[in-house]
Amino acid sequence: MELGTLLQTFPSIGPARAKALKKLGLETVGDLLLYYPRAYEDRTKIYSIAAAPQEEAVCVSALVAEAPRTSRIRKGLTVTKCRVVDGSGSAQVTFFNQDYVRYALTAGESYIFYGRMEVMGRHRQLTNPVFEREDRARFTGRIMPVYPLTAGVSNNLLAGLALPSVESCAHLVSDQLPSEVRLGRKLCTAEYACCNVHFPADQEALAVARRRLVFEELFTLSCGMAFLRSRRTEARGRVFPDRPVEDFLALLPFSPTGAQRRAMEEVRADMASGRPMNRLVQGDVGSGKTAVAACAAWLAKAAGAQSAMMAPTEILAHQHYETLSALLAPTGIRVGLLTGSMKAAEKRKVQAALAAGEIDLAVGTHALLSQGVEYADLGLVITDEQHRFGVGQRSALSSKAKTPPHVLVMSATPIPRTLALLIYGDLEVTIIDELPPGRTPVETYLVGEDKRERMYNFVRKNVSQGRQVYIICPAVEEGEGSELKAVTAYAKELAEKVFPDLRVAFVHGKLKAREKEAVMAAFSGGDIDVLVSTTVVEVGVDVPNAALMVIENADRFGLSQLHQLRGRVGRGKWQSYCVLVSGNRSPETRERLKYFTQTTDGFKIAEKDLELRGPGDFFGQRQHGLPTLRAADLAGDTRVLKEAQQAARDLLEQDPTLSQPEHRPLMERVRQLFAEDGDIFN
């Protein structure tokens, strides 16, 4: 057996299972060794029947006293039972719909059972336990790995493959940590880590293995990010001749905040520097990032280059298109729109104009990346709300330029420092930490179902004062828990029963883009009083007259998402409100939502969210554009992250291209890590 041995050569793996394994990314023994358990079951301690505790699953060694009998309870339900004994007593073992047990358990033999012992008076019972013959035990009497699974792949199957693989191949896993790095931090070898992450000798060995793997992963990632950054600073960029930002500011209908002005100056300096700009502008919702983007496009145009601005949703692309067209009209900059839902003929027209250089600023969705979209002379790439795009998409847009373009990334997601270091490790960062003047913070309240009537009255009051209202619900369709307010049904109820005299409309992600646009346009035009919506209004949408947001089932949302949502109000000159409705009584939930009512600082909220939910949920599945982490947990492993980043910096200083022979395995792994998520090394 070698690392390259195909899993389908194992006797237990037929074509169907091989296919299921492939879904998990598992084709070879090597893949399997890098597939880490998500949890462990401690099956080391063996209890007697009488002494087995009830609260948790435990191992019990017992003799099968009688041959198991199967009986049919009703159609589709069989039960197989037998009695087992040891010196301390006896227990009934019961299996549902597992007829094979009749042949798997032999009377008179000893087995180790793993499961929860239920005690009812003098009667003890084990239901659906896992079991193995005592003299051939592989998965009991040890710490058992629990792997992430998929349909057709059971944990026993994976563990059964992992065990021989680890036994024969752990020593072949290449140690990519340079030995000075490994020894300097007293980390175990790759072989030890591999053995003990899959089948830990004991809890301590597991901790030792995990410490190394977490470090290794964060170290590799840090090397990759540092590598990207250094490669970029070496590249030559187009020089956009310096133009005074003041000339642009004169075009704005407002005077900029100090932070906006600083951001624009930095952008100007970047683009004049001779290196490609790679700047992240991070600013809370409503801080005025669009004007910074407009300034960048204006500078590009002055240098005779085209710009492209990519937004994550059609709604947002439209809104940017409108805002920027209006803002830039006096400058003669020609703005074009390109989105996936446009008619083919329209698209062709815009594409032709782009290729001919008749559009200076293309605003759109990822349609801007499509094959066949060509630019006459793309010099500036802007992405809005970056956490929704991956590193790969950012570079895909850049690759449409003939020379490396300037890149401006805008994000409204305040990102905790630890994550920002990783995700934006290859970017310079500007923080817009100032809101335009005259904004009063949104007042936020948490209410239960008992206050629903009062909440409706509050909606009515706001509308009577000329304001508009958002009502946000988490789900589009009934079904995902029926107590959820499904947006369509709920909108109907509101329109017909609660607010028959108001103009109520709804919008959700399953509507056609065109329908969505129409509703959003009507809302921003003031023709709708109450907009019932899912989270499609989450990013970027700007309707200053909307002064109240009600969030139904607020406990369903993470803090960062609530913050994004709340940013839709408080954009005009009126006092704005956010009302969280939740009937959830759990103390943690109450505390989380209470916290939200008490702070408006996006960074604090983000830190709290990360702490409570971890990075996966923080961004939603794979939205951060980072390679998937197998071992590390960014929320919990911050200290290790800092160490790993320092180690990566030290190493790259000494060998910037990682070309020394002892660094080759590391370079290889860095490539692999990033290759899984887009070819940013090409």
Residues at the interface with ligand ADP (CB under 6 A): 254, 256-257, 260, 283, 285-291, 412, 436, 540, 542, 544, 571
Stretch that binds Mg ion, among 230-238, 534-542, 605-613, 666-674 (CB under 5 A): 534-542
Query: What, of Mg ion, ligand ADP, none, does residue 286 touch, CB below 5 to 8 Å by kind?
Result: ligand ADP
State the distance between the two ends of the chain, measured CA to CA, in whole angstroms: 33
CB of 624 to ligand ADP, least distance (A): 20
CB of 263 to ligand ADP, least distance (A): 10
CB of 399 to Mg ion, least distance (A): 25
Query: What, of ligand ADP, Mg ion, none, does residue 288 touch, CB below 5 to 8 Å by kind?
Result: ligand ADP
Nearer to Mg ion, 37 or 288 (CB): 288
Nearer to Mg ion, 549 or 648 (CB): 549
Nearer to ligand ADP, 571 or 624 (CB): 571
Nearer to ligand ADP, 96 or 254 (CB): 254
Per DSSP, which regions of 524-659 are E strands? 530-533, 546-551, 577-581
DSSP designation for 76: T
Name the residue whose CB lies closest to Mg ion: 540
Q: Give alpha helix (H) positions in 429-542.
A: 452-464, 487-493, 513-524
Query: What, of ligand ADP, Mg ion, none, does residue 100 touch, CB below 5 to 8 Å by kind?
Result: none
CB of 288 to Mg ion, least distance (A): 8
Nearer to Mg ion, 181 or 310 (CB): 310
Nearer to ligand ADP, 117 or 605 (CB): 605
Q: Phi then psi for 353, rounded to 5 degrees?
A: -65, -35
Nearer to ligand ADP, 238 or 289 (CB): 289
CB of 200 to Mg ion, least distance (A): 48
The position carrying tokens 């059971």 is 154
Here the tokens at position 433 are 């930490």
Q: Is 677 left (phi over 0), alpha (psi -120 to 50) or beta?
A: alpha
The residue type found at 308 is: A
CB of 569 to ligand ADP, least distance (A): 12
Which residues touch 135 (CB under 8 Å, ≥6 apart)?
A: 110
Q: Are 506 and 477 in contact (CB under 8 A)?
A: no
Three-class DSSP labels, 220-250: HHHHHHHHHHHHHHHCCCCCCCCCCHHHHHC
Q: For the chain, how big is the Rg over CA atoms in Å?
A: 30
Q: How far apart are CA 215 and CA 223, in angstroms?
A: 12
CB of 349 to ligand ADP, least distance (A): 28
CB of 436 to Mg ion, least distance (A): 13
Q: Are 536 and 317 in contact (CB under 8 A)?
A: no
SS3 79: strand
Stretch that binds Mg ion, among 114-122, 302-310, 536-544, 562-570 (CB under 5 A): 536-544
CA 397 to chain centre: 21
Query: What, of Mg ion, ligand ADP, none, does residue 291 touch, CB below 5 to 8 Å by kind?
Result: ligand ADP
Name the residue whose CB lies closest to ligand ADP: 288
Nearer to ligand ADP, 112 or 605 (CB): 605
Query: What, of ligand ADP, Mg ion, none, does residue 416 touch, CB below 5 to 8 Å by kind?
Result: none
Nearer to Mg ion, 10 or 470 (CB): 470
Cβ burial of 654 (10 Å; 0-12, 13-18, 19+) is exposed
Q: Are 3 and 30 in contact (CB under 8 A)?
A: yes
Here the tokens at position 182 are 């490994």
Nearer to ligand ADP, 310 or 651 (CB): 310
CB of 285 to Mg ion, least distance (A): 7
Q: Phi then psi for 186, rounded to 5 degrees?
A: 55, 50
Size of residue set near Mg ion by CB under 5 A: 1
Q: Are 390 and 364 in contact (CB under 8 A)?
A: no
Query: What, of Mg ion, ligand ADP, none, does residue 260 touch, CB below 5 to 8 Å by kind?
Result: ligand ADP
SS3 385: coil
Query: What, of Mg ion, ligand ADP, none, does residue 287 touch, CB below 5 to 8 Å by kind?
Result: ligand ADP
Query: For Mg ion, which residue of 115, 540, 602, 627 counts as binding (CB under 5 A)?
Result: 540
Per DSSP, which regions of 543-658 are E strands? 546-551, 577-581
- Contacts with Mg ion by CB under 5 A lie at 540
